[in-house]
Amino acid sequence: MARSIAALLSPALLAWLDTLLVATAATAH
């Protein structure tokens, strides 16, 4: 159960972090 939740959550978390990094880079420049 926890493993399937992690499998679903990981890509979403990575996508969110990627978006956050892009947003931070955009505001910094």
pLDDT values of the chain reduced to their tens digit, one per residue, 29 residues:
788 988 989 999 999 999 999 999 999 87
* pLDDT recorded at residue 13: 93
* pLDDT recorded at residue 28: 85
* pLDDT recorded at residue 29: 75
* pLDDT recorded at residue 1: 79
* pLDDT recorded at residue 12: 93
Query: How many Å apart are CA 3 and CA 22, to the nearest integer?
Result: 29
Per-residue tokens: 15: 């996508």
Query: How many Å apart are CA 6 and CA 12, to the nearest integer?
Result: 10
Query: How many Å apart are CA 8 and CA 13, to the nearest integer?
Result: 9
Cα atoms in the 13 Å half-sphere on the side-chain side of 9 = 6
